[in-house]
Structure 1
Amino acid sequence: MLRPTTLSLFRSFKQPLHHSTRNFSSIRPNVFNSPTRSPLAAFVAKNARTIFTDSSAVVVRPTQAEAWKKFAISAATVAGTVVAVNVFFNRETRDGLTAAEQSYLNDSFKYTGGGLAITAIAARSLFKSGFALRVMSANPWLVLGVSLVGSIGTMMGAMYTPPENTILKHAFWLGFNACQAATLSPLFFVAPAILSRAALYTCGVVGALSYVGATAKSDQFLYMGGPLLAGVAVVALSSLAPMALPLGMRGLAITEAVSLYGGLAVFGGFVLYDTQKILHHARLVQTGAMARDPLKESIGLELDMINIFVRLVQILSMQQRKK
């Protein structure tokens, strides 16, 4: 099952680089002090505001009490989400997971966590090396095409390589996470506080939905596959529409809302679906109907978490700009 990862990432963060470039060198340029400077240079020297001033910067930093208050609110929000989602979706729960189901689910989540850690570390390294700048300045269609080809190719290799071929299967898995890291590296231009909050909210949402899916009395969420695929198609088209169609401001606002909030709903549904799919496959593995392959199961969950995280980063960034 193929899902887009960051179709709207480059549209949201691709900005002209020269608008945010600043020169923080300690050597003052002497072009404005030249006796032969032009009238334009003289005007700029007289009226421009530069960073080369003797006044101290005004920095408003939150107090420790305010920082702890924000952290407590975030933690309470995550905890409330876990309880509310469980009460709403899971009025009736099963007696408990079997040992085989627990083992298969735990191994799948271990691969999911390992893949996300590799992706985050590789994305940070690519960002520090300047790769993110080259990605943002490149043609978005080219970047999208290369990232999709690389991600889909390595994902297919990781999913359909037999578990017995351990080295090749893990090589494809590492390549898949490297492709995700290259695509997500521009996210590090966002403030670290926003990234941290988005990561916390993502863990809370995914943890709550996974718990709901794992403890549901029946496999009711396995029947959501068809509607979720249709939802992914709508989200993908809404993300690509501004790149291909001449939309007005209202059209752009509508497509952005569908991509962000509709994407959150769709990939939240995929967390429920993928969790119950893993448990269903665990029962098939126990009966010998299929081979045990937690690495393959983890890829769907990893894509769900990445998509939810990216959209939360965009939503939190929008809220920060409105303040």
Structure 2
Amino acid sequence: MLSRFAINFQPVRLFSQSVARNARFGGQGPSGFGSRFSEQTGFGFRARTGPTLKERLLGPTTGKPYIYGTYALIGASALGIGSLAYYGLGLSSERSILQNSTMWPQYVKDRLHSTYGYLAAGLGLTAASGMAASRSALIMRLTASGSILGMFATLAVIIGTGAVVRSIPYENTVAKHVAWAVHCGALGAVLAPMVFLGGPVLMRAAWYTAGIVAGLSATAICAPSDKYLMMAGPLAMGLGVVFVSNIGCFFFPPHTALGAGLASIVVYGGLILFSAFLLFNTQRLVKQAELHPHQSQYYGEQQHYGGQMEYGAFDPINAQLSIYMNVLNIFMRMAMILSGFGGQRRK
């Protein structure tokens, strides 16, 4: 009886041993039962053979984020060239800004001329300020710290000086121009560390930026007057993505997979984003120049509203600030790409 019980217990003991081995070795142990059970039923525990998601994100990058960013930039460039060809050849059924310009009164043309004159002067002041700031060791230490506190301090200076410029009416000529010059000088000081990229790189970036701005401005002028004004929502969301990615770059170095992805969004995605912003702001500038009341219209509107309507003069300094920031952002990203960003130096 005991011998029969022992014989009958043997399969149970072997089964328990096989289950223990299976649990110990994750279904891949020396027990034939676990392997056969996993193979036949598809169930069972298998040991992890690849890296975890965290290890992949924080591991070394393969360089693919930069390659994908280049592809996105090529696609956006092709779309821009196609838009310029489509609208420039007059294939659109809607009237373009260029066609409407033949009916503009002279004051609209004068407003646009003065706005782009201030834009060119502001870029010149920024370049001169950057060159002067690069010769000061104190300013270079403050602007080239590379810390997140330095980034927020830079944002505070840019936003603060810009808000002061916008708050001063254009009729207050001296204060307005002084605040505008200080704003341009502050941005030049912020961009001063870019001199480390080298003069040839910065000159090439400046020429490339000029070509991009000219092409995008021509596209905006040849397009219908409100074609790109409908992009405000997507542009705002894209700006939020680029801003958050910029903050993330302080915590994840660019040699990691996640850091490389964030850096690619900041540089390549930012270049595409601010190019689209340039289209939007160019058409918005034209709309402002067209719709802002002229002095000859004040008297009639004051009579209509009982003498309570008051308008300030058109402010070309405020009107060009958005385009000015777009140009600087495009220039910075072009300089980074041409300097060999992502290990792909442009020859």
Residues of 1 paired with 2:258 and 2:272: CA distance? 21
Structure 1 pair 137–102 and aligned structure 2 pair: CA distance change class (3 A): closer
Question: Structure 1 residue aligned with 2:338, among 308, 316, 322?
Answer: 316
Identity of aligned residues (%): 28
Q: Summarize deviations over 1:53-94 as a string: whole Å, max 9, x none.
A: xxxxxxxxxxxxxxxxxxxxxxxxxxx999655114554334
Tell me if the contact between 1:123 and 1:181 (Cα under 8 Å) persists in the aligned partners: yes
Partner of 1:238: 245
Residue aligning to 2:180? 173
Structure 1 match to 2:313: 291
Paired with 1:140 and 1:150, the residues of 2 have a C-alpha distance of 15
Match of residue 84, structure 2, among 83, 86, 89: 86
* SS at 1:138 equivalent: coil
Separation in structure 1 between the aligned mates of residue 85 and residue 312 of structure 2, nearest angstrom: 34
Q: CA deviation at 1:142?
A: 3.0
Give the Å deviation of 1:291: 3.3
- How many residues align? The count is 244
List 4+ stretches of structure 1 deviating above 6 A: 80-83
* 8 Å contact kept, 1:116–1:302: yes
Whole-angstrom distance in 2 between the partners of 1:281 and 1:291: 12
**In the TM superposition, what are the counterparts of 1:38-53 in structure 2 within 5 Å?**
none
Partner of 1:108: 115
1:145-167 Cα distance to aligned partner (Å, 9 max, x none): 22211111110111121111112
Residue 244 of structure 1 and its aligned partner are, at CA, apart by 3.5
Query: Is the contact between residue 143 and residue 189 of structure 2 (CA under 8 Å) also seen in structure 1?
Result: no
Shift of 1:197: 0.9
| Distance in 2 of aligned mates of 1:171 and 1:106 | 21
- Matches of residues 136-151 of structure 1 in structure 2 within 5 Å? 138=145, 140-151=147-158
Q: 1:295, CA displacement in angstroms?
A: 0.4
Task: Rate the CA distance shift 1:194–1:156 in 2: closer, same or farther, 3 A.
Answer: same
Alpha carbon RMSD of aligned pairs, Å? 2.5
What amino acid does structure 2 have at the position aligned with 1:182? A
Question: Larger Rg: 1 or 2?
Answer: 2
- 2: CA distance, partners of 1:279 / 1:139: 38
Residue in structure 2 matched with residue 305 of structure 1 by the alignment: 327
Q: Distance in 1 between matches of 2:119 and 2:84?
A: 22
Distance across 2 between alignment mates of 1:251 and 1:83: 32
Letter in 2 for 1:267: F
Note the residue ranges of structure 2 that are not aligned, 5 or more in a row. 1-77, 298-310
Is it true that 1:220 corresponds to 2:245 in the alignment?
A: no
Any idea what SS the aligned residue of 2:191 has?
helix
Given that 1:235 and 1:258 are in contact with CA atoms closer than 8 Å, whether structure 2 keeps it comes out as: yes
One-letter code aligned to 1:303: M
- 2-structure distance, mates of 1:145, 1:168: 26
Aligned in 2, Cα 1:130/1:173: closer, same or farther, shift over 3 Å? same
- Contact 1:100/1:286 (<8 A) preserved: no
Higher relative contact order (CA 8 A, sep 6+): 1
Q: Would you say 1:158 and 2:165 are equivalent positions? A: yes
| Cα distance per residue 1:211-264 (max 9 Å; x no partner) | 221232231111111211111111111111021357871111111111111111
* Counterpart secondary structure, 1:268: helix
Q: Matched residues in 2 for 1:227 and 1:209: separation?
A: 18
Q: Aligned partners of 1:202 and 1:81: how far apart in 2?
A: 18
| Cα separation, partners in 2 of 1:267 and 1:247, compared to 1, 3 Å | closer
Whole-angstrom CA distance in 1 between matches of 2:82 and 2:207 = 17
Give 1:320 shift: 9.7
Cα distance in 2 between the residues matched to 1:136 and 1:155: 18
Residues in 1 aligned to 2:257 and 2:162: alpha-carbon distance in whole angstroms: 36
Contact 1:104–1:278 under 8 Å retained in 2: no
CA spacing shift, 1:128–1:318, aligned 2, 3 Å: same
Which range moved further: 88-97 or 292-301?
88-97
What are the superposed Cα offsets for residues 272-294 of structure 1, whole Å, 9 maximum, x if unpaired? 11111111111122455763011
Q: What does residue 273 of structure 2 align with?
A: 266
CA distance 1:194–1:279, change in 2 (3 Å): same
Deviation at 1:317, TM superposition (A): 0.9
> Mapping of 1:63-82 within 5 angstroms?
none
- Return the alpha-carbon distance in structure 1 between the equivalents of residues 242 and 87 of structure 2: 24
Q: Which runs of 5+ in 1 are unaligned?
A: 1-79
- Indicate the residue corresponding to 1:127 in structure 2: 134
